[in-house]
Amino acid sequence: MPEGGLSDDGLLNRLRAIYSEAVVADVEKELKQARSKDLSDYAAEIHARYAYRMHNLSEFMKTVMQRMTQWFNREHNRTGTLWESRFTSVIVESGIAARMIAAYIDLNPVRAGMVAEPAEYRWSGYGEAVGGGAKGNGKKAREGLVRACMSHKGVGFAAEKWQEVARVYRKLLGVALERKAGRAGEIVAAEKKKRLAAVTEKSLQRGAKSDGNGVKQEDDEMVLREMEMAAMLRHRVRYFTDGAVIGSKMFVNEVFAQARERFSEIRKDGARAMKGNAQAARGQLWSMRDLQV
């Protein structure tokens, strides 16, 4: 929200994006009457009538879901709810957490068996970024992925960074699918081979018991880390939808401190180690909620 609040023109411009001209004209007329009679309180009420949803993601999603349900029911002559569950949101730290959740979302259609390749799903951010979208450049989707992958380096919505990000992000998706994807696939395969050889040698030097390949993963947290993350991304991980806050231990605890009044006095800190299918992220990512396995 702009400092000092929205001007009348600012409010009307935003309303034009979602309402008909007739509705906007009525609001404009109301505002002009209020201003002409110096009724600032009444003008503020008009603003509040529409602005309460602005900059409030939960209210925005509530409206979108309600209107989508109403439209769909009219079109298909049906009644009742359309969505399986209520909208939920998760606070995500920039860096590895943002990249991991972006990849998790773009792999949803693959997990659902709808496509074999995430780029083939045209309604995903990655599919839009690769396919180019209606205008042929997929700029908005590319900007979003650039921010997800590089915001921790101070990079904002810079679409020109897409080529660099595309290689990094494709590598992450390729690892998750354990699939060769051009040069990215070669890099992934070479890195796996290199780590396997290094860990095998290290394990043998320690005289550790192996799993048949000379590898004992619990001896070294870096053992085949890509494979562990890949397995996690192929599962439906509840932490990515129900974890409330995802990021480093420090980040989760900072958010916890800011929202301390929401929790009981018994709870001393916010960060919780991930369990179950998210086990591979332990030590790198933490969650606000301690979900049951």
DSSP code per residue over 50-83: HHTTTT-HHHHHHHHHHHHHHHHHHHHT--S--S
What single string gives the DSSP state of each residue in 103-152?
Answer: HHHHTHHHHTTS-SSGGG-TTSHHHHHHH-TTTTS-HHHHHHHHHHHHGG
- As a whole number, mean pLDDT of residues 246-268 equals 90
Q: Which among 125, 160, 130 has a CA at the least distance from the CA of 144?
A: 125
Q: Specify if 252 maps to a domain.
A: yes
Q: Specify if 264 maps to a domain.
A: yes
Q: Specify if 114 maps to a domain.
A: no
Q: Which among 223, 271, 234 has a CA at the least distance from the CA of 112?
A: 234
Q: Are the C-beta atoms of 197 and 185 separated by less than 8 Å?
A: no
DSSP state of 203: H
Q: How far is Cα 7 from Cα 254, in angstroms, rounded to an integer?
A: 34
Number of independent structural domains in the chain: 2
pLDDT over 60 (residue 226):
no
Q: pLDDT tens digits for 73-118?
A: 999 999 998 888 888 889 999 888 888 888 889 888 888 888 888 8
Pick from 27-36, 113-122, 201-210 the range whose average pLDDT is largest: 27-36
Predicted confidence band at 221 (pLDDT cuts at 50, 70, 90)?
A: very low
Q: Specify if 227 maps to a domain.
A: no
Q: How far is Cα 127 from Cα 116, in angstroms, rounded to an integer?
A: 12
Grouping H, G, I as helix, E, B as strand and the rest as coil, residue 273 is strand
pLDDT over 80 (residue 72):
yes
Q: Specify if 36 maps to a domain.
A: yes
Please count the other Cβ atoms lying within 10 Å of the Cβ belonging to residue 63: 13
Domain extent, residue 289, equals 236-293
Grouping H, G, I as helix, E, B as strand and the rest as coil, residue 184 is helix
Poorest-pLDDT segment among 52-61, 76-85, 237-246, 271-280: 52-61
Q: Specify if 57 maps to a domain.
A: no
Helices 225-234 & 182-206, crossing angle to 10 degrees?
120
Q: Specify if 155 maps to a domain.
A: no
Grouping H, G, I as helix, E, B as strand and the rest as coil, residue 21 is helix
pLDDT over 60 (residue 214):
no
Grouping H, G, I as helix, E, B as strand and the rest as coil, residue 92 is strand
- As a whole number, mean pLDDT of residues 2-23 equals 86
Q: How far is Cα 98 from Cα 247, in angstroms, rounded to an integer?
A: 8
Higher pLDDT, 8 or 151: 8
Q: Specify if 128 maps to a domain.
A: no
- As a whole number, mean pLDDT of residues 1-17 equals 83
Radius of gyration of the chain (CA): 24
